Amino acid sequence: MPKFDYDLNYAELDLRAQPELYRVGRGEQGVLLVQPYKGEILPHWRFATPDAARESSEAIYALFEQYLKAGDFVGADMARKFLQMGFTRARRYANHKGGKKYDGPVPDDKKGQSGAHGRAELPRQPEDPVKAESARIFKAKWDEAEANEEYTRLKKAHRAKYG
């Protein structure tokens, strides 16, 4: 699977106009970089409470469906990544008060990339039931997106055409 290209200048690129530059990568890679989708989806992204998570995940899933209807795989994949990120961030806050999972700062050359990068994971706190419920809400929508047949078809076509 081709890796997400962190070397592109995403602030200057419009990946709706240039979908050939987009690589799915792993997990949430590029979720806060790829424009114009970041600008369209991020304002809807909230997970602090179950009500916020429900409203957010439904709004993002509606965007996911709009992108699919338009045949815009990159947009659909970015919406899927925001749903995944809603789950992972809510889970992080459910497990770690304040949301800090690892000890120490992220090395500058690794900002925006996932993983511990040699840092130790901080001990888990007793689970925050509010954030855990937010995570469950996002997980259900993320699973729904992953199971969508049109999404799967467009993903396969994008990878076949662009790598």
pLDDT tens readout for residues 118-136: 677 766 667 778 999 999 9
Q: What is the pLDDT of residues 22-73, one digit of tens each?
A: 999 999 999 999 999 999 999 999 999 999 999 999 999 999 999 999 999 9
Residue 22 lies in a domain: no
Residue 146 within any structural domain of the chain: yes
Domain contains 79? yes
The answer for residues whose C-beta is within 8 angstroms of residue 33's C-beta and 6 or more apart is 6, 10, 112
Domain-located, residue 60: yes
Q: Which domain holds residue 144?
A: 30-36+49-102+126-163
38/82 Cα distance (integer angstroms): 9
| Residue 15 contacts residue 37 (beta carbons within 8 Å) | yes
Distance CA 53, CA 19 (A): 29
In a domain, 62, yes or no: yes
Q: Give a yes or no: residue 148 inside a domain.
A: yes
Give me the number of domains the chain comprises. Answer: 1
